């Protein structure tokens, strides 16, 4: 695409994000970007824009040669992938906010970009208004990222804040998240962690060059968290958050997961409330950096789409530097996690699977323990999210294999065995 050109946009979707983008573009005439046509699924729905703008025929956008950019913000992942593939093969640059589609089709999307040489940008697909993808691509263009720890789903963070700070019920908090346009059309995607793991699969690529289907990443959502867990957290001066984390291990492989986690009050992520997202990056020399911003909602998400549209004027493309120009890292589940599990009955807990249990409370109705498990055990089994059991990670949960060996050796020494 030639630089600084007029952008003529074909927009797919006019929901929370699509309508937000329409309004935002009207307020930024300096961008020289106009929406020529909007393709929608339901023609009978009342829309806040002139009727002539809308069509239900995708070909009207995809085959229109005057349209040089397709913006795709629909929530049907399969339809979105088809639109993106046709648009790029027809020579159009694409901006997308479809996290599920991007996470599930990453290999094909990488191929499409190599094959066509066209830009495909998706900053809105992770942490909405926080420019995390471009930062990981451009600023951390090196091999020094030690870890990333983030809140990447606005709805679950909103629900946890409303439940534990404002004493709303789970159902009322979820309803509010839906009314405010934060939740997915199927809120199970938010609540059970699917949306967060999709975003994490995308960010793992830009951070570490890892291309992994979200099914292969250890995750759950906030569906099993109980009020009693929040009480334990309060007693220990901790918060409960849904945290996505990736950490480079001593052998260079990467541990990555999305799980509820206890967060200390003095950690930056403890400060992230409601629909806000936050990302803490730890890198060599810079130490810790914290990015904070709205992670859901119409205008915050549209602002990221707008920034991608703007970047297209300068032919910006992701270079996937960690994947193509460095040695990509490998994901592993061969490490250990320090976990808290609360449960109704001991019979639901396979105690033999723990490396060790260092704390347990069995007196009240709701029992809990704190112990160490192999991460592979959690990925391959599901006892920890069944029968009302609730697993929450300790504040600094990742234990390297090498540390496990040393810890075990020390405890044997202390016990006088060796």
Element (H, E) at 410: helix 401-414
Which is nearer to ligand HSE, 116 or 205 (by Cβ)? 205
Burial of 34-73, coded b for 16+ CB within 10 Å and e otherwise, reads: ebbbbbbeeeeeebeeeeeebeeebeebbeeeebbbbbbb
58 is catalytic: no
> CA-to-CA distance for 223 and 282, rounded, in angstroms?
29
Which is nearer to ligand HSE, 202 or 232 (by Cβ)? 202
Q: Which residue is nearest to ligand HSE (CB)?
A: 155
| Helix-helix angle 170-179:154-165, to 10 degrees | 140
Which is nearer to ligand HSE, 182 or 384 (by Cβ)? 182
Residue from the set 19, 190, 212, 229 that interacts with ligand HSE by CB under 6 A? 190
Rounded least distance, CB 203 to ligand HSE, Å:
13
Rounded least distance, CB 97 to ligand HSE, Å:
7
Residue 251 CA: distances (Å) to CA of 201, 284, 367: 21, 16, 36
**Contacts (CB under 6 A) with ligand HSE, residues 138-177:** 153-155
If binding means CB under 6 A, how many residues of this protein chain bind ligand HSE? 11
> CA-to-CA distance for 179 and 297, rounded, in angstroms?
10
Rounded least distance, CB 124 to ligand HSE, Å:
7
DSSP 375-407: HHHHHH--GGGSTT-EEEEEEEEEE-HHHHHHH
Assigned token pair, 408: 């075990």
Which is nearer to ligand HSE, 61 or 159 (by Cβ)? 159
Binding of ligand HSE by 128 (CB under 6 A): yes
Rounded least distance, CB 248 to ligand HSE, Å:
26
Rounded least distance, CB 189 to ligand HSE, Å:
7
Closest CA to 58 of 76, 45, 33, 32: 76
**Contacts (CB under 6 A) with ligand HSE, residues 293-332:** 295-296
Report strand pairing: 238-248 vs 331-332. Answer: unpaired
Rounded least distance, CB 110 to ligand HSE, Å:
22
193: DSSP letter: S
> CA-to-CA distance for 416 and 398, rounded, in angstroms?
28
Residue from the set 81, 120, 122, 182 that interacts with ligand HSE by CB under 6 A? 182
Which candidate in 199, 248, 322, 338 is catalytic? 199
Which is nearer to ligand HSE, 202 or 393 (by Cβ)? 202
Q: Among 178-186, 249-257, 381-389, 409-417, which window interacts with ligand HSE (CB under 6 A)?
A: 178-186
Q: Among 80-88, 129-137, 180-188, 389-397, which window interacts with ligand HSE (CB under 6 A)?
A: 180-188
Question: For residue 53, what are the contacts with CB-CB under 8 A and spacing of at least 6?
Answer: 35, 37, 38
Assigned token pair, 346: 């001991």
Residue from the set 24, 69, 109, 183 that interacts with ligand HSE by CB under 6 A? 183
Which is nearer to ligand HSE, 293 or 371 (by Cβ)? 293
> Is there a contact between 4 and 314 (Cβ–Cβ < 8 Å)?
yes
Residue from the set 123, 192, 195, 212 that interacts with ligand HSE by CB under 6 A? 195
> Is there a contact between 295 and 153 (Cβ–Cβ < 8 Å)?
yes
Binding of ligand HSE by 122 (CB under 6 A): no
Rounded least distance, CB 402 to ligand HSE, Å:
36
> CA-to-CA distance for 190 and 173, rounded, in angstroms?
13
Which is nearer to ligand HSE, 123 or 184 (by Cβ)? 184
- Annotated catalytic sites, by residue? 199
Residues that bind ligand HSE (CB under 6 A): 128, 153-155, 182-184, 190, 195, 295-296
């Amino acid at each position: 695409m030639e630089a600084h050109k007029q952008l003529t946009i074909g927009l797919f979707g006019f929901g929370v994000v699509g309508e937000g983008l329409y309004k935002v573009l009207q307020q930024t005439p300096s961008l020289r970007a106009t929406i020529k046509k909007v393709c929608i699924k339901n023609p009978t729905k009342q829309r806040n824009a002139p009727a002539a703008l809308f069509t239900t025929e995708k070909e009207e956008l995809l085959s229109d040669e005057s349209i040089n950019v397709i913006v795709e913000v629909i929530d049907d992942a399969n339809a979105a992938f088809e639109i993106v593939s046709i648009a790029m093969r027809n020579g159009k640059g694409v901006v997308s906010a479809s996290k599920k589609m991007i996470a599930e089709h990453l290999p094909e999307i990488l191929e499409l970009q190599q094959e066509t040489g066209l830009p495909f940008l998706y900053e809105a697909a992770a942490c909405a208004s926080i420019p995390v993808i471009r930062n990981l691509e451009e600023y951390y263009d090196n091999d020094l990222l030690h870890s990333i720890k983030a809140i990447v789903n606005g709805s679950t963070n909103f629900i946890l804040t409303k439940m534990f700070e404002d004493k709303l019920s789970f159902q009322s908090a979820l309803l509010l998240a839906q009314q405010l346009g934060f939740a997915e059309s199927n809120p199970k995607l938010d609540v059970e962690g699917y949306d967060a793991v999709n975003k994490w699969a995308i960010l793992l690529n830009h951070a570490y060059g890892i291309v992994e289907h979200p099914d292969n990443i250890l995750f759950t959502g906030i569906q099993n968290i109980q009020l009693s867990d929040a009480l334990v957290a309060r007693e220990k001066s901790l918060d409960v958050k849904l945290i996505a984390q990736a950490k480079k291990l001593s052998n260079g492989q990467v541990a990555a997961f999305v799980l509820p986690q206890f967060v200390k009050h003095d950690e930056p992520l403890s400060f992230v409330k409601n629909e806000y997202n936050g990302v803490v990056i730890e890198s060599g020399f810079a130490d810790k950096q914290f990015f904070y911003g709205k992670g859901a909602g119409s205008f915050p998400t549209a602002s990221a789409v707008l920034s991608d549209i703007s970047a297209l004027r300068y032919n910006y493309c992701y270079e996937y530097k960690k994947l193509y120009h460095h040695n990509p890292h490998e994901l592993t589940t061969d490490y250990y996690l320090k976990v808290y599990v609360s449960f109704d009955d001991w019979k639901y807990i396979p105690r033999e699977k723990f490396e060790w249990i260092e704390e347990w409370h069995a007196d009240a109705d709701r029992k809990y323990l704190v112990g160490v498990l192999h991460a592979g055990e959690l990925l391959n089994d599901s006892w920890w999210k069944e029968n009302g059991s609730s697993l929450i990670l300790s504040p600094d949960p990742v234990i390297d294999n090498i540390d496990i060996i040393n810890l075990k050796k020390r405890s044997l020494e202390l016990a006088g065995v060796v």
